A and B are shown apart, each in its own frame.
Chain A
Amino acid sequence: MKSLIQATIAILVVSALLFYAADALSAGGGKGGKNTLTIFNWGEYIDPDLLKEFEEETGIHVVYETFDSNEAMMTKIQQGGTAYDIAVPSEYMIEKMKEENLLIPLDKTKLPNLKNIDPYFLDLPFDDNNQYSIPYFWGTVGIVYNPSLVSDLDFTSWEDLWDPSLKRKVFLVDGAREVIGMGLNSLGYSLNSLDDHELRQATDKLITLAPNVKAIIGDEITPLMINNEATVALTWSGQAADMMFENEELDFAVPEEGSNLWFDNMVIPKTSKNIDGAHAFINFMLSADAGARNADYVGYSTPNIAAMDLMDEEVVTDERYYPSEEQRDTLEVYKNLGPDYLGKYNELFLEFKMSIR
């Protein structure tokens, strides 16, 4: 009995001490009472120095939280509970959030730095006239491969994936839109196809790829590629950049038939309680200096033209990350397919998965 009481007291004392320590540590940031800004972003998706700088410049205290998927992020915003002022969803999720009335329209007069953004990335189908969203990072879907392990294939065409020499060597990302989209692209169709006949053809074509497929996985592909345990993988350009940073042998290609162009965008959710602060933050991130430093830190492609002038020449001229305009014409942004066709894509993806033995 005595030891039970002792243990209880010990736990309470330790907790109190830790409380004190945590308070002392976070007090360093200067809790500014009401003037706070809560940011909800992907993990490791911002240069932490920029947050500190923003705090010093504006006196707004930043609360920074992270999420790992668009769906999880939307659930939390939908339920409220936390007053998120900024979130960074991908394009298809913005369409969904618009439909659910979860976003606040942006006041462009408070965003003078918007002029730094490449017009190519503005006014896209998922958000006309950028009423609700401002591009944060962008990228493509393509093939990362190790040239020394594949014989004279350069993946300028999706067709190369079907090469018999790649038997049991191809890794795919576990995403219905990405994989079915690749099937559609390889046939020259749009990756937003709503044509049942085209979708059927694409799936049949994918099924013939089955003997080459080694696995359909997610983030685990990164270490496999880095350690040369995998040869070829369908993946996002940002993830490929991570792999190539660690393993210089690797190369990345976006096939000529076309591929997906994706965006992560800053939005102000309905839950926001500091709309002015949110605009200030977006404008801060749109500045050339912040854009350049953030892109350097995160390693994804920035839509900020002014920032690109400040960045390493070698990076911004690398067509693997910053494709030429000619190549960009073949790229397509995902459109919201609606629940019926999204279900169909998922079903076809499942059918393809089942064909792999």
Chain B
Amino acid sequence: MNKLSASAKVYLIIVFIVLYAPIFYLIFYSFNSGGSMNHFESFTLEHYQAVFEDSRLLVILINTVIVALLSALISTIIGTLGAIGIVTVKDSKMRNTLLSLNNVLIVSPDVIIGASFLILFTIAGIKLGFTSVLLAHVAFSVPIVVLMVLPKLLEMNTSLIDAALDLGATKKDIMMRVILPYIQPGIFAGFFLALTYSLDDFAVTFFVTGNGFSTLSVEIYSMARAGISLTVNAISGLVFFVTVLVVIGYYFVTSRATKRTEGQQ
């Protein structure tokens, strides 16, 4: 940080202000007793109270988090295995084809993915609800995890594996003790990205929700026609707060882990 010039620092600060100002603006008004985001009247916690009293909204919030956690977990497992699989493909043409197919899924519009899933699920007779939302979220998160894990795998020196083989490691040992620990940062990055993708996705989720199961993004979106109430600000504030806590927690866990490994060395 000390190496940054003054102008670079100012630039960095401006970027962060631009990124965070809307969020803090929104949270600021969640404490407004005025009922709208026009002018601040006085401090109140009534909107937070409204969130905790509205059991329907709470269930939706919890559903959103469950889907995000589980879909991120499953897609991380599938995506990591997929990335390892892609790397082991020796034929470069084949490997490029696989990667392109993976990328197509990332760039294809959400609406198309959502509508396709709706058709698929209804044909397959899967009832819309928790399962369909979870499956859809896993599906659109896997390609992202693959992309997050892949650079770490490519960066890994293959002589590490050769060395392990020379020392008599089995395939399982190589996977557990060499590859996975090495690509761990990529796996966590993939997990967190999948988590955010799942939390904020509207278009795909809208098509596959049903039978009373809904997520926050779908709910907030449909509120927009009648004007979004400050309850939404309050719930967004809560989600933001929890996210910050998770990130801080993750930071402490990883920094402690690095210190420990550094200490061992």
A81 touches B221 (CB 8 A): no
Given contacts A22-B63, A43-B225, contact A63 B219 (CB under 8 A): no
Nearest CB of chain A from residue B233's CB, rounded to whole Å: 13
Given contacts A22-B63, A44-B223, 17 further A-B contacts (CB under 8 A): A1-B184, A4-B180, A4-B184, A12-B73, A15-B66, A18-B66, A22-B59, A25-B62, A29-B55, A43-B223, A66-B218, A67-B222, A81-B118, A226-B36, A227-B38, A242-B227, A246-B36
Does any Cβ of A come within 8 Å of B253's Cβ? yes
B223 touches A4 (CB 8 A): no
A63 CB contacts on chain B under 8 angstroms: 211-212
Binds A, one of B100-108, B121-129, B149-157: B121-129
Does any Cβ of B come within 8 Å of A8's Cβ? yes
- Give 13 CB contacts A-B under 8 Å: A11-B73, A19-B66, A22-B63, A25-B58, A26-B55, A43-B224, A65-B210, A75-B207, A79-B118, A82-B129, A219-B224, A226-B38, A246-B38
B122 touches A79 (CB 8 A): yes
The A149-199 residues at the B interface (CB cut-off 8 A) are: none
A44 to B54, CA, bound (A): 13
Given contacts A25-B62, A65-B210, contact A14 B118 (CB under 8 A): no
B225 touches A82 (CB 8 A): no
B184 CB contacts on chain A under 8 angstroms: 1, 3-4
B219 touches A43 (CB 8 A): yes
Does any Cβ of B come within 8 Å of A298's Cβ? yes
Does any Cβ of B come within 8 Å of A341's Cβ? no
Does any Cβ of B come within 8 Å of A48's Cβ? yes
A43 CB contacts on chain B under 8 angstroms: 219, 221-226
Picked from A75, A83, A227, A247, the residue with its CB within 8 Å of the CB of B118 is A75
B176 CB contacts on chain A under 8 angstroms: 1
The A30-74 residues at the B interface (CB cut-off 8 A) are: 38, 42-45, 48, 63-68, 72
Closest residue of chain B to A42, judged by CB?
B225
Closest residue of chain A to B61, judged by CB?
A22
Does any Cβ of A come within 8 Å of B14's Cβ? no
A68 CB contacts on chain B under 8 angstroms: 221-222, 224-225
The B102-150 residues at the A interface (CB cut-off 8 A) are: 115, 118-119, 121-122, 127-129, 132
Given contacts A43-B223, A65-B209, A83-B211, contact A75 B66 (CB under 8 A): no
A44 touches B65 (CB 8 A): no
Nearest CB of chain B from residue A310's CB, rounded to whole Å: 22
Given contacts A18-B65, A25-B55, contact A76 B210 (CB under 8 A): yes
The B164-217 residues at the A interface (CB cut-off 8 A) are: 176-177, 180-181, 184, 187-188, 191, 206-207, 209-212, 214
A48 touches B56 (CB 8 A): yes
Interface size class of A (residues with CB under 8 A): 35 or more
A298 to B184, CA, bound (A): 51
Does any Cβ of B come within 8 Å of A80's Cβ? yes
Among B73, B180, B184, B211, residue most surrounded by chain A Cβ atoms (within 10 Å): B211
A18 to B64, CA, bound (A): 10
Does any Cβ of A come within 8 Å of B33's Cβ? no
The B48-84 residues at the A interface (CB cut-off 8 A) are: 54-56, 58-59, 62-63, 65-66, 69-70, 72-73
Nearest CB of chain A from residue B113's CB, rounded to whole Å: 14
A67 to B226, CA, bound (A): 12
Nearest CB of chain B from residue A119's CB, rounded to whole Å: 28
Given contacts A1-B176, A14-B69, A15-B70, contact A81 B127 (CB under 8 A): yes
B180 CB contacts on chain A under 8 angstroms: 1, 4
B253 CB contacts on chain A under 8 angstroms: 3
B121 touches A81 (CB 8 A): yes
A12 CB contacts on chain B under 8 angstroms: 73
Does any Cβ of A come within 8 Å of B248's Cβ? no
Does any Cβ of A come within 8 Å of B37's Cβ? yes
Interface size on B, residues (CB 8 A): 52
The A228-281 residues at the B interface (CB cut-off 8 A) are: 238, 242, 246-247
B132 CB contacts on chain A under 8 angstroms: 81
B38 touches A22 (CB 8 A): no
B56 touches A64 (CB 8 A): yes
Given contacts A3-B257, A43-B222, contact A81 B122 (CB under 8 A): yes
A44 touches B227 (CB 8 A): yes
Convert A215-230 into 0s and 1s, putting 1 for each residue whose CB lies closer than 8 angstroms to a CB of B: 0000100110011000
B226 CB contacts on chain A under 8 angstroms: 42-45, 238, 242, 298
Closest residue of chain B to A45, judged by CB?
B226
A65 CB contacts on chain B under 8 angstroms: 209-210, 212, 214
Does any Cβ of B come within 8 Å of A21's Cβ? yes
A339 CB contacts on chain B under 8 angstroms: none
Nearest CB of chain B from residue A23's CB, rounded to whole Å: 9
B118 touches A11 (CB 8 A): no
Does any Cβ of A come within 8 Å of B229's Cβ? yes
Nearest CB of chain A from residue B109's CB, rounded to whole Å: 15
B122 touches A80 (CB 8 A): yes
The 7 A-B residue pairs with the shortest CB-CB distance, nearest first, are A43-B222, A82-B210, A44-B226, A63-B212, A66-B222, A81-B128, A43-B223
B129 CB contacts on chain A under 8 angstroms: 82
A11 to B225, CA, bound (A): 35
B223 touches A66 (CB 8 A): yes
Closest residue of chain B to A223, judged by CB?
B37
Does any Cβ of B come within 8 Å of A28's Cβ? yes
A28 CB contacts on chain B under 8 angstroms: 55
A18 touches B224 (CB 8 A): no
A79 to B122, CA, bound (A): 7
B69 touches A15 (CB 8 A): yes
